[in-house]
Structure 1
Amino acid sequence: MMPDLGKYAGPVLGSYAVTIGLIVLVVALSVWRSRRMKRALEAVEARAGRK
């Protein structure tokens, strides 16, 4: 069910697309950084365990 946006349909739908894209980007970057930090932490813990 989509409301009739009239002459503003393009800008409104474009804004939705940009917003959704940015949200996906933020989530993807967060997951990527989390995995990177987890690997770094595991490496530090492995080095500390060897001593």
Structure 2
Amino acid sequence: MMPDLGKYAFAVLGSYLATAFLIAALVGLTLWQSARTKRALAEVEARQGTSDG
């Protein structure tokens, strides 16, 4: 159920849209960085496994 926002409808809906976009961007960035970090960790572990030091 959508409340009547009157003359503030654009501002309120725009704020909701901007917030949803920012949250989605932060989640995407977090997932991307997580995958990148896992790859880097796997590379370091692989290098340590091949050298006996």
TM range (shorter): over 0.9
- Give the AA of the match of 2:17: A
Asked if 1:2 corresponds to 2:9, the answer is no
* Root mean square deviation, CA, Å: 0.3
TM-score, normalized by length of structure 1?
A: 0.99
Bigger-Rg structure (1/2): 2
Q: Runs of 4+ in structure 1 displaced over 3 angstroms?
A: none
| Count of aligned pairs between the two proteins | 51
Aligned partners of 2:16, 2:34: CA distance in 1, in Å?
Answer: 27
Segments of structure 1 that go 5 or more residues without pairing to the other structure are: none
